Structure formats: structure tokens, C-alpha cells
Amino acid sequence: MGGVWSGSELVRIAAQALRDADARLRDEQAVRGIDALDEVGLHPVLGGGFSEAGYGVWPERPYAGRVADRAIRRDRERCDLVLTGEPGARLLDPVSELVEIDRATGTLFEPLAESIAGAMSGADERVVEPGEAFWLEVKAVAQYAYVEGVPRANRAYATQLVKGPLDDAKKLAREATIEHAGAMVVLFACDEATVEHDLGQMAHRLLDKDAPIRAPEWEVFAIEDRAGNGACGVALAPIRL
């Protein structure tokens, strides 16, 4: 993965967080399991696991994009989870901080520009540059998915399993400020053998489509079956940057 980042370690942590969530729901005798969570619902589960493991976690962090375009980019794409190796450090957002400097320059608030620049340099605190962090996009795919509250066979299962991580990989790969990134898939299916097989097929199809990834790593485990999904797999495809 490069630097301090280990793909197998991130997969292990994510899988354990999901195991723990599944166990809590089982103990609560919940009607629905973790396979009922959509991608947004999975973010706090995964983020909590990474936080407990000692990582800094930044959800829904905006991509920097091209700094030169900051005056015309009002709505910026956001990454599901950004991880830092130091939980107490601040993740630098060069675009938003430069926008504040732009706004202050030539006004009564121009002296503030110097303090903002100082903050960006990390003079008073530990600042993590975007290139030091790990940028993680997450997709959830289920063989049996909830539709209007009712679990049923997912007709888009095969398409979602490839298109989601493919789109995420392309999005991550085009960000010049990112040096460490991965497309994660949380897959729910009827049993562990199916999850193993389908993740393998996903990996082959992504590589056949020349996705900007290296070979994915994954972990598979059993979950409480409430909707037809008796197993979960967590796969992480590192992005080629």
C-alpha cells in the first residue's frame, strides 16, 4: 500500500468492526442485521472500527481537486472516509484554506491571511497533508437487498459489484493530491463460498476492465441470516496512483 498503510490491516479492522456490529444486533435480537445498512449507514460502523484501532477518521472529506480551479469549484466531491495515522492531527484541506486566504486578501481581514498560512504550515499543530492520508471509498452490495423495507433478490447484484468499485477507483485515481487510496466493497451474500467466489469474479472483471487498481485483498465471515444473506466479505482494492 505504500508508507505506513497496510491493505490487509485495513481489511482486518473493517471486518472486525462489522463482526462486532453483527454480534451486537444478534444480542439485541434485532429484526434487521448489518446487511440492511446502506453505504452511509456503514460509514460510522467502519469509522468506529478504525478509530478504535488508533487511526484518525475524517468522514465525508472533500477532494482537493486542482487548487488552480478553486475559484470556480463551489461543489466539491467528497470521499467516504479519510484515515490518518495520527488521531489527534488535523487533515489539511488546501483548497478551503486557500479560499479563506483569497477572501481575506485585499480586505480589512488581510492580516488573518498570515495566520491562516501559518496554520497551513503546521506551526502550531500537527497537520497531515492529503498525500499522507489514506482515502477510502466504500460500496455496499447485497445479494438479497432491502427494497421498501422488504428483502428480495437484488437483480442489479452483478452490475453493482463491478460498477461501484470501478467508478470509485477512477475517481480516486484522478486526484493528484492523493498518494494512498483504496476502493472498498462490503459484500453480503447467502454463504461464505458465494462471497469468496463473487469477490474473486469482481477482482478479475475489474482487472479485465483495466481499472486503476492492484489486486484486492479480502476477508469473509458468517453473519446472522435475517434476509437471505448469511455471510459478509470486506474487500479492498488499492488504487494505482
pLDDT in tens, 25-80: 999 999 999 999 999 999 999 999 999 999 999 999 999 765 544 444 456 789 99
Please tell me whether residue 38 adopts helix, strand or coil conformation.
coil
> Which cell goes with 147?
427494497
pLDDT for 119 equals 52
User: Looking at residue 100, what is its pLDDT?
Assistant: 47
pLDDT digit string, tens, across residues 194-223: 999 999 999 999 999 999 999 999 999 999
Q: CA of 150: how far to CAs of 36, 153, 157, 228, in Å?
A: 10, 10, 16, 11
CA dihedral 177, 162, 223, 52 (to 10 degrees): 0
